[in-house]
Structure 1
Amino acid sequence: MKVAVVYQYFQGHGAPGHSLIYELTQHLAERGHEVTVISGETGYMKRDTPTLPWYRRMVRKERDGQVTVVRTFTYSELHRSFFGRLMSFLSFSLSCPAGLLSIDKPDVVLASSPPIFPMFSTWLVCKLRGIPFVLEVRDLWPASAVQMGILKNRQLIGVMSWMERLLYNQSSRIIALTEGIRDDICARGWPERKVELVTCGVDVDRLYPDEAGAAFVRERHGWQGRRIMLYFGALGEANNIPVILRTAQRMRDRHDVLFVLIGDGMKRQATEREVSSLALANVVMLPPVPKDDARMYISAADACLVTLRDIPLFDGAIPTKLIDYMACGKPVLCGVRGEAQRIVEDAAAGLIFEPDDDEHLAGLVAGILDDGSAAARMGRDGLAYVRSRFPASRMRTQMEVALIDVVQGRSAEHPPEDRSS
């Protein structure tokens, strides 16, 4: 089948950040499907500034393995502010239809959200060309932005809520990344048969305990003799980095402990200013590293941190960093309620703290660093758990089967009544 995938932040293993869509598209191509990706010009944590003038960047085609990639004009300063992020979303919303119209008509379009605005323009093209539309939901927008206090304009909230309902109604199938997302959508009236759970998975040949890589990273950064508490991922509004900084402040007298933050996002500059103003010598911030190098940095840590803001919708979140940490055999300190907490507890892969409780987190950091046997056991148990429960091959097969079902017409469902009035 011919598959078109619309995802604003498409990137390979040589770029920082997650590469789930990249790996899915390569899998589909290897399975004999003709795959084209419509994407923006930069990854979520890759700040390359375009050098060509805008009129030469409207639509550009390239190849990545067996996959055709169509890059369309996108505002690149997405991390400058919320306005910059909105401009990035809107610019891709306007340019991605040109990319989708530039290719032969596909049998199905898979669109991955958030952001939600490009999903709407993608659906319009699908409607005009008679293409089945499958929506992958990685985060519930606009609800999560509203609960975080990022989105306050009632008119914009109304527009985005209307878009969300229309997209759910018009999609041939909805793919939910977590149980919490699936349950929320179904609780609002969409039929369970239409909403399919396909969680993130891990490639055990790419993410695994890497002792040699860990030694290289520790020597490179001069971390010998230090106990490393690692946060690896986005530095955004949702990620609750302040609880880590408060914990570091509490533990500044533990000269053997070093908190390492690796990543980028809208809150990176604010975090750097906070580290400087508090004179936190026990905090190091590094730029994002390519996915190919992730296992070395994770393996170099003694324990890893998962944090999110304490809002109800994040009870249904599974941060990809959690699965990555466990795949590298590292114990996890998790400050996320709900689904992420259940994974850590079921796997016996780490310890749980209240999302904003830095005092509790400081105690857990000291305890896990001082009990090497317990930390090693948690790492082993977490590794075994993700290898049995989150194999990437299984997740990609689920997605492939779902797309084939849509193409063969086995997914027609009736949308719920619009109860927004």
Structure 2
Amino acid sequence: MKVAVVYQYYQGHQAPGHSLVFELTQHLAGQGHEVTVVSGETGYMQADPAVLPWYRRLLRRERDGAVKVIRTFTYTQLHRSYSGRLLSFISFSLSAPLGLLGLRRPDVVLASSPPIFPMFSTWLVCKLRGIPLVLEVRDLWPESAVQMGILRNRLLISVMSWMERLLYNQAVRIVALTTGIRDDIVARGWPAEKLQVVTCGVDRDMLFTDLPAGQRIRRQLGWQDCHIVLYLGAMGEANNLDVVLDAARQSHGKPVRYLLIGDGMRKPCIQARAQALGLDNVLILPPIPKDQARAYINAADLCVVTLLDIPLFRGAIPTKLLDYMACARPVLCGVAGEAGQIVKAAGAGLNFSANDGQHLAELIEQLRHDPEKCLLMGRRGQAYVREHFDAAVNRRAMEQLLLDSCRVALKAPASG
């Protein structure tokens, strides 16, 4: 099988943020499939400044093990503003087709959204060349942007909604990252048999209990005798990190330290607010590569996951939640819906209301005095993700879905 994957933020374990597409493509190549990734020039978590002029960055070819990678021109300053992010999406929408058109015709294209604009131009190339398109939906756009208040322009909302409908109609299969995403799409009229849930998974070789690595980080921070609360991930509008600062304010004067690691559009605001409140118990660090995440997670006594309290996020499963659980860390979850249900079903931690910093601080104080309960929560969470969110199982499921999509397309190509 010849597979082309279109994803704007392809990156390996040496970059910060998730590496799910990297892991999937390496698996596919390891199974003997011919895999090419068409990607932008920068990761989602942290933009690398462009060195070459734009005309020398239109198309660059790399190899990542057995995977071929085509990098196409992308506006890299996506974290400066929402207009910068839009420019990044549009630039990749215009350049990605160049990468796809330059390939020997693949048997199937897997396109991962959001963003949605590059998915539309990817579909145009697939339509032109008669290639079956499998659409992976990681987040529901434009609805999530509308609910967060980021997207208000009615014309832009209408255009993006039209693109979403067309893509769902034209894709031979739709892969939903969570049950909530699948249920939303089915409720809006698309047939359930067209959709399949393939969740995020945890790689046991990367994420596991590693107390020596955790102790090393604690020594580096000088926090050997502190109770460390960790947030590791994006710092955007959706991530609702003000609630963590509110909790830190409540914990002032106690041996509790809050460690926030990551990057995103809201990071300067988070830093400014922490400084304005005089939160000397908060340390905000730059993003770290994925292959260093295990050490920092194991350094924490408690880990926090939080998102804005909007209806669509009730179907979200943040990858950081699974990463925490894989390392046997107890979790404090401020995400209602599917994520909170996982924490409850696993017995992996405690849930709190999305905007209730005082409740979060109370839970931290409660668990600070109950190390045995924390240990039990961590063990339960680790066992749960190993049973239900095994990355190897999920990669095999995606491989089989792509193979099935090729066979279906050969028998009855998608109508257009």
State the TM-score, normalized to the length of structure 2.
0.98
Q: What's the counterpart of residue 300 of structure 1?
A: 299
CA offset at residue 47 of structure 1?
2.2
CA offset at residue 412 of structure 1?
6.2
Aligned residue-pair number: 414
Alpha-carbon distance in 2 for matches of 1:196, 1:414 = 17
Q: Deviations over 1:29-69 (max 9, x none)?
A: 00000000000001011221010000000000000010000
Structure 1 position 210 matched with structure 2 position 174: no
Alpha-carbon distance in 2 for matches of 1:241, 1:271 = 7
Q: What's the counterpart of residue 354 of structure 2?
A: 355
> Structure 1 332/412 Cα, relative in aligned 2: closer, same or farther at 3 Å?
farther
Q: What's the counterpart of residue 150 of structure 1?
A: 150
Aligned AA for 2:131?
I
Aligned AA for 1:341?
G
Alpha-carbon distance in 2 for matches of 1:377, 1:190 = 42
Consecutive unaligned residues in structure 2, runs of 5 or more = none
Alpha-carbon distance in 2 for matches of 1:137, 1:100 = 20
Write out aligned runs for 1:300-319 (5 A). Answer: 300-319=299-318
> Structure 1 413/165 Cα, relative in aligned 2: closer, same or farther at 3 Å?
farther
Q: What's the counterpart of residue 389 of structure 1?
A: 388
Alpha-carbon distance in 2 for matches of 1:176, 1:413 = 22
Alpha-carbon distance in 1 for matches of 2:231, 2:60 = 35
CA offset at residue 413 of structure 1?
9.8
Structure 1 position 290 matched with structure 2 position 289: yes
Alpha-carbon distance in 2 for matches of 1:221, 1:77 = 30
Q: What's the counterpart of residue 189 of structure 2?
A: 189
Asked whether the equivalents of residues 172 and 412 of structure 1 are also in contact (C-alpha less than 8 Å), the reply is no
Write out aligned runs for 1:109-128 (5 A). Answer: 109-128=109-128
Alpha-carbon distance in 1 for matches of 2:217, 2:102 = 44
Please provide the CA RMSD for this pair: 1.2
Alpha-carbon distance in 1 for matches of 2:292, 2:413 = 43
> Structure 1 188/38 Cα, relative in aligned 2: closer, same or farther at 3 Å?
same
CA offset at residue 303 of structure 1?
0.4
State the TM-score, normalized to the length of structure 1.
0.97
Aligned AA for 2:109?
V
Q: What's the counterpart of residue 367 of structure 2?
A: 368
Write out aligned runs for 1:83-98 (5 A). Answer: 83-98=83-98
Consecutive unaligned residues in structure 1, runs of 5 or more = 416-421
Structure 1 position 107 matched with structure 2 position 107: yes
Alpha-carbon distance in 1 for matches of 2:413, 2:260 = 45
SS at match of 1:126: helix
Q: What's the counterpart of residue 225 of structure 1?
A: 225
Alpha-carbon distance in 1 for matches of 2:108, 2:321 = 31
Asked whether the equivalents of residues 73 and 91 of structure 1 are also in contact (C-alpha less than 8 Å), the reply is yes
Write out aligned runs for 1:3-152 (5 A). Answer: 3-152=3-152
Alpha-carbon distance in 2 for matches of 1:341, 1:275 = 27
> Structure 1 412/250 Cα, relative in aligned 2: closer, same or farther at 3 Å?
farther
Asked whether the equivalents of residues 171 and 414 of structure 2 are also in contact (C-alpha less than 8 Å), the reply is no
SS at match of 1:71: strand
Asked whether the equivalents of residues 94 and 121 of structure 2 are also in contact (C-alpha less than 8 Å), the reply is yes
Asked whether the equivalents of residues 306 and 335 of structure 1 are also in contact (C-alpha less than 8 Å), the reply is yes
SS at match of 1:266: coil
Aligned AA for 1:31?
Q
CA offset at residue 358 of structure 1?
1.0
Alpha-carbon distance in 2 for matches of 1:61, 1:344 = 42
Aligned AA for 2:18?
H
Alpha-carbon distance in 2 for matches of 1:47, 1:59 = 18
SS at match of 2:294: helix
SS at match of 1:238: helix
SS at match of 2:182: helix
Alpha-carbon distance in 1 for matches of 2:260, 2:343 = 21
Alpha-carbon distance in 2 for matches of 1:339, 1:178 = 8
Q: What's the counterpart of residue 277 of structure 1?
A: 276
> Structure 1 17/356 Cα, relative in aligned 2: closer, same or farther at 3 Å?
same
Asked whether the equivalents of residues 194 and 413 of structure 1 are also in contact (C-alpha less than 8 Å), the reply is no
CA offset at residue 414 of structure 1?
8.9
Q: What's the counterpart of residue 339 of structure 1?
A: 338
Asked whether the equivalents of residues 146 and 152 of structure 1 are also in contact (C-alpha less than 8 Å), the reply is yes
